[in-house]
């Protein structure tokens, strides 16, 4: 059944989703904060960070945010995580609790330690149905129609199922999960592990080191997730191991690429300039440290990434710091 869908944010993921959903027959409106970006998409049918993809002319491109909210069945928040609260406040007058609110942003708010869905509920109210769409989903591949699996997560299973039904197609298979906190925690913290994997590659280390970082990084995310009351199976699923693998290994991953540059000796400022897009792993570091303190768990890989990025210790100190820890059992 055709839905009216508003997407807030014309970055790579928002644009890729708009392109896919409009081809499914949905009526899609894509909002951009910047008029020049909206005009570029509308006139050239290309996105500078989605090379090789043709953006459909059937998308409604707007810069008036109300037009992407009013009368929509689904409203998708696709802005960087640090702008979710601001965007929610701006859109609040144009939304109602009969709409399904979806977040595809991945992060944790520094001051509140809220996930993206929690921020939306905090601003909009608890009567709103909020769904997190998360998983191993590079925008570049979704825009090209390559096979992809994703998770629709909501505390209300019926709402998660509704989104599953309307978003699934012949190249996107959607699963449901009611553990929305666990799904969103994975989406935020895996970006930090991807930074670590990239740093390892930048330092010239091999596949052994990368596999170790992914495996032990997932153990850290699982540890904090269980302390927060999340469901253990979430971490072995698409939003857990699936997302960490794709983000920590692919050249499409801005977090992985940022880590490589830092490993090669570039400063944080130089790294961010070279990547040219938001690196969510950097934004998640402060919140991750606060969660570590609050729940009194050990996150050694995340700790080392924090010290490299925030305390400016040499990236070459990573191995001595991690290997010098007390010897323990894996289980």
27-31, strands of its sheet edge to edge: 60-62, 27-31, 4-8, 74-77, 100-103, 129-134, 148-153, 172-177
Q: Supply the angle between the helices 116-124 and 84-91 in degrees, to the nearest 10.
A: 30
Backbone angles phi, psi at 186, to 5 degrees: -60, -45
Terminal Cα distance for the chain, rounded: 48
Instruction: Assess whether 293 carries a catalytic annotation.
Output: no
State the catalytic residue, choosing from 110, 190, 210, 269.
Answer: 190
Q: Name residue, tokens 């894509």.
A: 30
What distance in Å separates the CA atoms of residue 84 and residue 10, rounded to the nearest whole number?
14
Question: Could you give the C-alpha distances from 122 to 59, 64, 81, 115, 118, in angstroms and in order?
Answer: 30, 24, 15, 10, 6
Residue 49 and residue 113 in contact, taking contact as beta carbons nearer than 8 Å: no
Q: Residues 6 or more apart from 315 whose CB is under 8 A from it? A: 199, 202, 203, 262, 263, 265, 308
What one-character-per-residue DSSP string does 92-157 give?
Answer: GGG--TTSEEEE----B-TTT--BHHHHHHHHH-TTSEEEEEESS--HHHHHTT--EEEEEE-SSH
Which DSSP state fits 11?
S
What amino acid positions are annotated as catalytic residues?
190
């Amino acid at each position: 059944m055709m839905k009216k869908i508003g997407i807030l944010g014309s970055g790579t993921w928002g644009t890729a989703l708009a392109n896919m959903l409009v081809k499914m027959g949905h009526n899609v409106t894509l909002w951009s904060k910047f008029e020049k970006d909206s005009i570029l998409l509308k006139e050239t049918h290309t996105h500078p960070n989605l090379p090789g993809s043709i953006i459909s002319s059937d998308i409604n491109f707007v810069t008036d945010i109300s037009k992407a909210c009013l009368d929509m069945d689904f409203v998708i928040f696709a802005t960087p995580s640090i702008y979710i609260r601001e965007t929610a406040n701006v859109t609040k007058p144009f939304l109602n609790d009969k709409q399904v609110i979806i977040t595809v942003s991945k992060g944790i708010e520094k001051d509140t330690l809220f996930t993206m869905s929690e921020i939306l509920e905090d601003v909009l109210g608890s009567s709103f149905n909020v769904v997190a769409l998360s998983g191993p989903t590079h925008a570049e591949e979704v825009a090209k129609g390559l096979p992809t699996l994703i998770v629709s997560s909501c505390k209300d299973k019926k709402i998660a199922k509704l989104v599953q039904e309307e978003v699934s197609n012949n190249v996107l298979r959607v699963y449901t999960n009611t553990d929305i906190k666990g799904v969103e925690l994975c989406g935020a913290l895996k970006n930090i592990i991807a930074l670590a994997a990239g740093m390892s590659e930048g330092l010239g280390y091999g596949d052994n080191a990368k596999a170790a970082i992914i495996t032990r990084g997932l153990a850290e995310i699982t540890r904090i997730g269980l302390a927060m009351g999340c469901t253990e199976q979430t971490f072995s699923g698409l939003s857990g191991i699936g997302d960490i693998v794709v983000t920590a290994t692919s050249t499409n991953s801005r977090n992985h690429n940022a880590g490589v540059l830092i490993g090669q000796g570039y400063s944080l400022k130089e790294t961010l300039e070279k990547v040219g897009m938001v690196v969510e792993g950097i934004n998640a570091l402060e919140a991750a440290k606060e969660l570590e303190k609050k729940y009194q768990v050990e996150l050694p890989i995340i700790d080392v990434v924090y010290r490299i990025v925030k305390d400016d210790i040499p990236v070459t100190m990573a191995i001595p710091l991690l290997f010098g820890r007390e010897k323990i059992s894996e289980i």
